[in-house]
Structure 1
């Protein structure tokens, strides 16, 4: 409803939202009216099928006549809200809060703090340029903050060009909808405003596959569609779900088992312990989409650093990446209500063994929140500059040290391999 009203301001052909006038409380008629309006929104805009599909879940909103007055009141007030001024944090937290708490914990579905996302993106897209993929996009925080980073560091790039470099996948239709809204709302007055966010399992996609179809010209009748294929990525970033493999259904288990032993430039291990967490497979599959020298920047449970199932992942990273940093926080939870310790891993694909061996790996524990370390700033450009200074400070760490705002240990990847062997 919010997005329809925002879209209507840039598409004069769309009628204002309406429901049966009082005293009518016919829920079937109300559902038909909204369904028709959403179909018109799809037709006139040429896309946004993720948002405006009328399915069984939509039907439940009008399951009883006595709900119609409340929806009518919503429609009457919604035109006073400007979606473009509603920050992505609001929709991201909405996404999180509408998932039942036990399910949210069970599946590791948590809204991620923008501050740590900005820090991760500072490593992964140092100059703001390049394609980026979030394989578990959730409410779209990584995509929106990547958009903001590109806008700050590459101001001459158009809104449409930024969208063509950002790709998101989520198996949840609801999550993909929120991510689509968050990106499309950045500049609704432009044509060709179609985020590359798909509702599908990440493990059903291979590099170069058809990703989705988008309208070539929204005004054309019949609509001309263009197929979008997944290009190579400068960065694969995100916060993949944490769940034990045995808790997944057979279909999901079969998908992830197909990831093992695959890859040309970065080959996955042949097998993993049965105790392996679901998020590990996102590392292996995500690496297949990277361009040479591309980045993995993932926020995950930290248990893989000292668990049996983590050993193959550690060896795989040492054999294929220059690991730049492991970052933890002793000052804040990087996503709300999570009951696991988390770690950020920054790793750059590297095929040269000598370079990998000499690479310095930094283990960092922050003693202050990221916001305290970067400060408050009036503009996104100043904010990104402060984040980049923190990144550069981390990359300059050497030896072992303790400070008021962070503790660290920096060792070469060769030393790390020797220590691991012991």
Structure 2
């Protein structure tokens, strides 16, 4: 056994299910799970010794210093300490990788001597092995000076010897090379991925993109934010499959020479190099073009020669020469760029990126709210000639945001053809590991858009096919794109439709296109025909007798509403003054009637169509005259609460800690919230899985903040019947086809989206039909059910839908097809967040 830091550490023989007997005695090749466990044990042994190394040095060597540099929230003490701990984990991972990689290399190349256990107390003896490889071209693997940082003590060298002995005697080197790369990937601690925004692309998504954009073996590939190299590795495999002689001794070397990657984190570039090199014999890989640095500082003009951090050093025997990676013309940019939001970007780094893009002539496309992913799209354009392609993994909200307009303008100006737009639905709607945002796969081609015939293939995947089935899926999609017909053998869980690119390029909400895709692109949609019938409906934007406006600005809404987290309502006196009590101190205060306004604050309290009135109150406190009495005591207590929250958020590393003015309490008075009082309201943001009601009518009016839209009719008698409309499946259909998807379940309705919806022509509905609608709405309120989904699947909303269709004058023969289309639509919608079997 080995002794480390005074503790006995059993060799690998005592930590696995099979014994280490020696290199030539028929040992089993470990399974993936065994290999991960072996290497993880090695990491733990080394991490213990790294406690003695200054964290600042480890952050610099592992590349995790970039997390601190880019995101200023690491100034917070707690988050900073987490980064220090995780830098040690990253360093231990890198050391284990280096030992493993060198061992494999020494088995394949006799020029590299086999690893031997160290003598004495100097861990830098490892450098005599690693430095030999720097004369080759694995700088991204071995140019970490972590060994030089280790203390020269017996426990440290004993820990290293444990790792050497374990790796040499475990037969890890005999695992298939492509699987070994995946094992190293899986070994990355999740907390390290979080610091580096390294939630890597799934193998299936990466393979699909590679098959859609690479059609010749010698295509040059670039990924400016390559992470662990999943996209680059799939590009390599796709290119190798297209070669006539993929097993030729020169093939590995030639393919690697055509693939270029970069990542800001040395840690990630380290893994990308390993993944690519392991695709062939290591002795035949003279060059792996993976570099480390800021991807925005790389451009075709500089050819990466402007900064020493981008040079690929290949010293001559006298140590004087260097080789520089020159980027040729790029055929394909493959990228899953970091999704870092604009508000988390370090202002200095953000300014540098904007300056670079302006120098590249892209200034007119910049928007201050662009995150890193959008900025990388602009930068990637500079590498592509006409005919060059981008294949990207992007957050879906890229194209339901204001800055998305700027990207679409770039696509228009550079005549990009938007070839494929692919979404994934179901319980997981992403293409990256551990990502919480809905994502798209996007494929575009520069300079190849033909105005008269340009279409985009929209693809919805209920499930992502198994890895081995991806090539067939890509073939199906290519065929569908060219013929606009779907191969009948394609699985039913894959849906597609074509859309003219001019429509897509003019839309600020791509999610609505996918929602419409749930009808499988039918040209004879009864619903679409119905909503376009001017005898039945009018677009909101043209409905002059109906005004829809957002509630008042909700700043400090929690502190200016009663009850809240601190204060509960005790009683309301006969004079309508309110007595409140502090939930924690039991202090009692009296709030004057003149400072109270009934209001709607929490949407979850208003799920029924008809409600008696507001259940909450809004405080209206003018700035003058000066505060006094209980009102002053309330404001003082809540000011202290706001201060405490601000301090806590700052300590926890919040991206922004909101400052508040001395007279914050007068916000509702200054914004004249009392002018936003009404009976009829619809929700602004909703969860389609859990929300029951989407609008309500209150007998007693109230004010509401901007979580609601107020609907005001010139004829007040219309408002109750509109509440019934806002809870019909017909309205929810419009909500989902025009709102913006935040996740698979959450949707947001902006005012410009509301204007695209339609309202029934109420003045044409006869009184007897109005009564039927009222009756159906009141009956729906009595039904038991927690959500629209539950009520719809139980058939409880059909009577209200039917009442509306009859009131609009649809013949009975047309009502059933409309209801059937609604049923099909919503079953497909529900399948977006959980697997729901479509009706027969």
Aligned-partner SS, 1:365? strand
How far apart, CA to CA, are the structure 2 residues paired with 1:202 and 1:128? 25
Residue of structure 2 in register with 1:227 after alignment: 324
| 1:212-291 equivalence runs, <5 A | 213-214=311-312, 225-261=322-358, 263=360, 268-291=362-385
Question: Superposed, which structure 2 residues align to 1:18-417 within 5 Å?
Answer: 18-21=116-119, 26=121, 29=122, 31-43=123-135, 46-55=136-145, 57-59=146-148, 65-79=154-168, 80-82=171-173, 85=177, 86-95=179-188, 97=189, 99-100=191-192, 102-103=194-195, 107=197, 109-156=198-245, 158-191=251-284, 193-211=286-304, 213-214=311-312, 225-261=322-358, 263=360, 268-320=362-414, 321-331=416-426, 332=428, 333-350=430-447, 355-371=450-466, 375=469, 384=471, 386-396=472-482, 398=484, 404-417=492-505
- Which has the larger Rg? 2
Q: Tell me the SS of whatever aligns to 1:210.
A: coil
- Residue 317 of structure 1 deviates from its aligned partner by 1.9
Give the drift of 1:172.
0.6
Q: Which moved more, 1:283-292 or 1:332-341?
A: 332-341
Deviation of the 1:414 alpha carbon: 2.3
Distance 1:120 1:219, change over 3 A: same
Distance, in Å, in 2 between the alignment partners of 1:277 and 1:262 is: 19
Unaligned runs of 5+ in 2: 1-98, 305-309, 510-755, 757-840
Partner deviation per Cα, 1:104-155 (whole Å, 9 max, x = no partner): 5xx3x21211111111111221234310101101111111111111111114
**Would the aligned equivalents of 2:330 and 2:388 in 1 still touch at CA under 8 Å?**
yes
Kindly indicate whether the alpha-carbon contact (under 8 Å) linking 2:139 and 2:312 is maintained by their aligned counterparts in 1. no
Please tell me whether the aligned partners of residues 461 and 493 of structure 2 are also in contact (alpha carbons under 8 angstroms).
Answer: yes
SS at match of 1:180: helix
Deviation at 1:291, TM superposition (A): 2.2
Show CA shifts across 1:35-76 (max 9, x none): 232123324xx3322222242x44566587545434322201
Q: Unaligned regions of 5+ residues in structure 1, if any?
A: 376-382
What's the C-alpha RMSD, in Å, of the aligned pairs? Answer: 3.1
Within 1, Cα distance between the matches of 2:291 and 2:300? 15
Deviation at 1:247, TM superposition (A): 1.8
SS in 1 for 2:132: helix
- What TM-score, normalized to structure 2? 0.43
**1:208–1:230 Cα contact (<8 Å) kept:** no
Residue 196 (structure 1) shift: 0.5
Q: Structure 1 241/200 Cα, relative in aligned 2: closer, same or farther at 3 Å? A: same
The answer to whether the 8 A contact 1:322-1:350 is kept is: yes
Residues 227 and 69 of structure 1: is their aligned pair in 2 closer, same or farther, counting only changes over 3 Å?
closer
CA shift, 1:394, in A, is 4.7
CA contact 1:357–1:413 (8 Å) conserved in 2: no
> CA offsets per residue over residues 212-232 of structure 1, 9 Å max, x none?
55578x886667544331111
- Residue 600 of structure 2: aligned partner: none
Structure 1 range deviating more: 179-188 or 287-296? 179-188
**Matched length:** 393
Q: Indicate the SS of the match to 1:297.
A: strand
**Equivalent residues of 2:459, 2:495 under 8 A apart:** yes
Which residue of the partner structure matches residue 78 of structure 2?
A: none
Contact 2:395 2:437 in 1 (8 A): yes
* 8 Å CA contact 1:301, 1:342 repeated in 2: yes
Cα distance in 2 between the residues matched to 1:356 and 1:67: 66
Change (3 A) 1:225 1:244: same
Paired residue secondary structure (2:201): coil
* CA 159–417 in structure 1, closer or farther in 2 if over 3 Å, else same: closer
Paired with 2:457 and 2:508, the residues of 1 have a C-alpha distance of: 15
TM-score for both structures, normalised by structure 1:
0.83
Q: Which moved more, 1:358-367 or 1:9-18?
A: 9-18
**CA shift digits 1:345-380 (9 cap, x unpaired):** 11000166xx145210122211121328x63xxxxx
